[in-house]
Homo-oligomer: A and B are copies of this chain.
């Protein structure tokens, strides 16, 4: 597998466009992803009971299991908590997009991110979609512009592309994502779109996605709040012309590895761009009884406000880490826990077999002073492990989310 300079237009048969159409004040606010060939689609959506209209629309057409050829995404308005009008508008977005591309509206997915509770400005969006459709291109630049157009208060766009060979054919996977963005009245929203030219059955694309998200997007935490608009969508159009993957063979495993790499990369980028994030924290839990236990423990550590503020303060606070493990709901023998911190400045064991060790606080500070920190928590319950990613909790987080009235 090779990482290449690319994005969602890197796989064969995919075009994209990103444009400013006037929903936001200045920045790009409309993105289109288009597959020249009918694509298999897999998607996962927010678990929040409160679901935005585009999420409801997409769930409906994904359930119908038809092919998908386009995704239209606007930023600046989430089309959430907008009642029946919201559903009509989401469908209208799909219809307008479909008309431009000669598709049925059931072949078009819709995503929105931004302000909630405000109806979409359809008088701006419909002509905006038509205008943007004319810009669709396979170019590297088009992928970049699309990745920029889905941003809200993200500070950088998030893209990746990888290639690998399968029975003599070059397979490419591209992806773009956005993370936490705040607009009033606001919430963080995660969107991720993956394109690939691999020839794979819908069922296996779906399986690969479901298996990948639990250890990628579901293992990141910026502030523990789950948005109404979250979604991850993968489109596979088969343009690479490899032998159809419809069993869990070696080809499938190879695809899964590359696909999971792309998802993990984008998930990590979202955390790196977390609101007010000054540090990137990786939590690795090892020796757990089950995979589920390992994930729960890692997530509990990375979600704890006390752990997050300790990292902001560059404090080797093993107590808060052990405490967060303790209230996670997982049972374990606390007298067998070892906790280590690591970064490019070195590594240090601060607790061994449940007992705190004396350690050089200045050396610990040096390690934690770095931007990328690793926490390793070792149990002796079994052999399962999991990794979660998060960021520190800073003044800047409170400022971004608290100082609305400036």
Binding site for B on A (CB under 8 A): 47-51, 80-81, 83, 116-118, 184-188, 223-228, 304-306, 309-310, 312-320, 322-328, 330-332, 334-335, 351, 354-356, 365, 392-395, 397-399, 401-405
Contact = CB atoms under 8 A, between A and B. Distances in A.
Contacts of A356: 81, 117-118, 185
A305 B180 CA distance: 13
A49 B326 contact: yes
B331 A49 contact: yes
Contacts of A315: 184-185, 402, 404-405
Nearest to A401: B309
A335 B84 CA distance: 10
Can you list the 8 inter-chain pairs with the closest CB atoms, starting with the nearest? A50-B326, A185-B319, A117-B356, A313-B402, A309-B401, A48-B326, A226-B327, A312-B402
Q: How many copies does the complex hold?
A: 2
A320 B185 contact: yes
Residue among A49, A51, A226, A325 with the highest chain B CB neighbour number at 10 A: A49
A317 B50 contact: no
Most chain B CB inside 10 Å of its own CB: which residue of A80, A185, A331, A334: A185
A182 to B, nearest CB: 9
Nearest to A320: B187
A81 B312 contact: no
B404 A322 contact: no
Contact of A187 (B319, B351, B393): B319
Nearest to A326: B50
Nearest to A330: B49
A332 B226 CA distance: 16
A321 to B, nearest CB: 9
A130 to B, nearest CB: 29
Contacts of A309: 397-398, 401-402
Given A47-B327, A225-B320, A317-B404, 12 more contacts: A49-B327, A81-B322, A185-B320, A223-B306, A224-B304, A225-B327, A227-B323, A309-B398, A313-B402, A313-B404, A315-B404, A394-B398
Choose among A313, A316, A334 the residue with the greatest number of B CB atoms under 10 Å from its CB: A313
A208 B324 CA distance: 29
Contacts of A330: 49
Contact of A401 (B188, B223, B224, B306): B306
20 contacts: A48-B327, A49-B326, A49-B334, A50-B323, A81-B355, A116-B319, A117-B318, A185-B315, A188-B306, A223-B305, A225-B304, A225-B305, A225-B323, A227-B323, A228-B322, A228-B323, A305-B397, A310-B401, A314-B405, A393-B402
